[in-house]
Amino acid sequence: MKSTRIRVILAVAAAGVALTACSPNQAGAAAVVGGERISSGELDRNVREYEAALAKANVSASQLQFQDSIPQLVLFQMANAKQHAQVAASKGITVTEGEIDQVIAGQGGQEKFEQQMLQQAVAPSNAREFMKSQVMISKLIAKYGGGTDEAAIQRGQAQAIKDLQALPITWNPRYGKLNEERSEQQPSVFVDAGRFGAPAAPGPADAPPAPPQQ
């Protein structure tokens, strides 16, 4: 059930993300979600925190085999979490701290949860909020679908995608151009490096872990 939920969330995220250019009154924003800004400074702080967490875990960026640079992926996850939470909340979906604790326990406890968040380019201080947004969108899909069978999941997913598309994320083009046609052949989230540069190249001593979920 957990793998199905993750697969559905990723599909919804890919379909619900839209690209527009930042308007002048959004100067200094890395992205804007429903009027809520993610400032360049906030992004930079999250990137530094995430990179420090990688260093503490003795994991190099190249080991994670990301298709995009760390700043791009951190921004992508921050923006998607805000979008999912805003859309689900607007439909009356709520999630308690206890529910988040249950999800973390179901993933093997706090330590494994933190490892999973690192693999998904989520800074430690945002981990619970990120998971909350994922649980909220899962609840919304279940609400729309009216069941747990494959047909119900597809119904719920289709309506959730429509809701997400009605609240597009506005990306600052300084941070790269979003890849709106992701595929196995072109899995990267962004199709150019923007100001972030290319993803880290693997070194000879890097042993890759399981592929990260983007």
| pLDDT per residue as tens digits for the range 66-110 | 889 999 999 999 999 999 999 999 999 999 999 999 999 999 999
Other Cβ atoms within 10 Å of 117 Cβ, number: 21
DSSP 58-123: T--GGGGT-SS-HHHHHHHHHHHHHHHHHHHHHTT----HHHHHHHHHHTTSHHHHHHHHHHTT--
Least confident of 138-142, 162-166, 190-194, 206-210: 206-210
Question: Residue 2 — very low, low, confident or very high, per pLDDT cuts 50/70/90?
Answer: very low
- 141 φ, ψ (degrees, to nearest 5): -60, -45
Whether the pLDDT of residue 140 is over 80: the answer is yes
Question: Residue 212 — very low, low, confident or very high, per pLDDT cuts 50/70/90?
Answer: very low
Cα 177 vs. chain centroid, distance in angstroms?
A: 16
The DSSP 8-state label assigned to residue 192 in this structure reads S
